[in-house]
């Protein structure tokens, strides 16, 4: 074989080729699914944050969360000393949470459909911002009115190691790396699994800078 025409990368994975990785019975990662949407997504995110800026919230236990939060949609998730809940108004501004941008809704529905969940109608998008060192301890998501709908999460910016556990806190967790543009869909039997995020490592993302941003779409009401 002529060494000049031999293609070293002939067998390599094509880059940015969307893939579906199954991580649970009814959960999967859609690798790179959000990438083609970014030019529409990021300006819409900025508009939401201009109305409802990131803020660090206090848990009922009195700890300040390392992750800063905002929300859009009819319902937004908040926490303070008195508990966790979904509200219609942003407690910071006293105004309704920003409307969910059309492009957010379309992306969440396209991803849910790709994962096998037709008719996903989220009424809430929680926006989490992680700077290096920020983490989310193992927990279950139990504040929604029903667990029938899936949850769709979009990862942007710095990578994260997601912990996907079992149905009890002590169960062994699976580690799933999540990268810029990945979307995870959890549903059905996996909806009440414990999960968390390990501390974000130092880094500078070319598009998002020194942060990881995660959108979590839910049918909360
Ligand atoms: C897995 N956020 O906001 S993705 C959360 O990356 C949260 O910011 C993480 O956990 C993040 O509550 C993880 C969202 C997620 C939401 C619900 C789940 C993952 C889930 C329910 C079951 C299993
Ligand atoms: Fe969660």
Tens of pLDDT along 87-98?
Answer: 999 999 999 999
| CA-nearest residue, atom 21 of ligand 1 | 191
Q: What is the pLDDT of residue 146?
A: 87
Tens of pLDDT, residue by residue over 146-205, are: 888 999 999 999 999 999 999 999 999 999 999 999 999 999 899 999 999 999 999 999
User: Which among 142, 202, 137, 199 has a CA at the least distance from the CA of 173?
Assistant: 137
CA–CA dist 204, 149 (Å, integer)? 35
Ligand minimally distant from the alpha carbon of residue 67: 1
* CATH architecture for residues 19-218: Sandwich (2.60)
Q: What is the pLDDT of residue 10?
A: 64
**Is the beta carbon of 105 within 6 A of some atom in ligand 1?**
no
**β-bridge mates for residue 196, sequence order:** 163
Cα(89) to ligand 2 centroid in Å equals 21
Q: How confident is the model at residue 16 (pLDDT cuts 50, 70, 90)?
A: low
Ligand minimally distant from the alpha carbon of residue 24: 1
The number of the ligand 1 atom at minimal distance from the alpha carbon of 160 is 6
Does the structure show a pLDDT above 80 at 7? no
Measure Cα distances from 24 to 115, 184, 214 in Å. 12, 11, 20
User: Which among 215, 192, 183 has a CA at the least distance from the CA of 115?
Assistant: 183
Confidence (pTM):
0.92
């Amino acid at each position: 074989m002529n060494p000049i025409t031999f293609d070293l990368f002939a067998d390599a994975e094509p880059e940015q080729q969307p893939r579906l990785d199954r991580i649970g019975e009814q959960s999967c990662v859609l690798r790179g699914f959000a990438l083609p949407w970014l030019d529409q997504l990021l300006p819409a995110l900025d508009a939401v944050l201009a109305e409802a800026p990131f803020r660090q919230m206090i848990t009922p236990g009195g700890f300040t969360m390392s992750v800063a939060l905002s929300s859009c949609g009819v319902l937004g998730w908040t926490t303070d000393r008195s508990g966790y809940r979904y509200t219609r108004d942003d407690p910071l501004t006293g105004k309704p949470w920003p409307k969910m941008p059309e492009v957010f809704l379309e992306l969440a529905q396209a991803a849910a459909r790709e994962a096998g969940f037709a008719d996903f109608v989220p009424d809430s998008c929680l926006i989490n911002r992680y700077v290096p060192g920020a983490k989310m301890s193992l927990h279950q998501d139990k504040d929604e009115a029903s667990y029938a709908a899936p949850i769709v999460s979009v990862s942007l910016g710095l990578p994260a190691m997601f912990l996907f556990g079992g149905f009890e806190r002590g169960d062994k967790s699976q580690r799933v790396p999540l990268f810029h543009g990945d979307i995870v869909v959890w549903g059905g039997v996996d909806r009440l699994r414990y999960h968390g995020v390990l501390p974000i490592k130092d880094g500078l993302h070319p598009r998002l800078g020194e942060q990881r941003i995660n959108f979590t779409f839910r049918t909360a009401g």
